[in-house]
Amino acid sequence: MREGRLAEEQLAALRERRLTPLAFLTSALGGLLWEDDVRPEHDSFCHAYMRRLMKPQNASALDDVTEIFGGSNNWRKPGDAMTEDSWENFDRIALRYAQRLEQWRRGEVRSKVDRPSE
């Protein structure tokens, strides 16, 4: 997260896992992670990872969510099972997110677009 983006109370609630991941996202971030939410040095990675602009293309958030959970909640039909809003599920996908960031840092995956940091 960008320095100063969250109040200390919000950070404490996150660190202590007092809220579920979705409750944190909707309460602290208004439901979406925006460019101004991430640190400038991560902007290019986040932009490309979330928009499927990576090489290889399957190194994307949507593909990783599909692999880990069997599908994206965005494309589920009414009545289909949704990924449970739990810290256990967050921990499952967080490992992949961290792996992709490290791969990007090492140059193993690259952004198809070059977005300069602010």
Report pTM: 0.79
84 with 114, same domain?
Answer: yes
Is residue 10 over pLDDT 60?
yes
d(CA 17, CA 37): 19
80 with 96, same domain?
Answer: yes
45 with 31, same domain?
Answer: no
Helices (H), 1-86: 8-15, 21-28, 43-50, 61-69
60 with 114, same domain?
Answer: yes
Q: Which helix (H) or strand (E) holds 97?
A: helix 87-106
What's the domain count of the chain? 2
59 with 117, same domain?
Answer: yes
Mean pLDDT, the chain, rounded, equals 85
30 with 48, same domain?
Answer: no
Q: Provide the residue range defining the domain that includes 30.
A: 1-37
Q: Is 100 left (phi over 0), alpha (psi -120 to 50) or beta?
A: alpha
Q: pLDDT for 59-117, tens place per residue?
A: 999 899 889 988 666 666 777 767 888 999 999 999 999 999 999 999 999 887 765 44
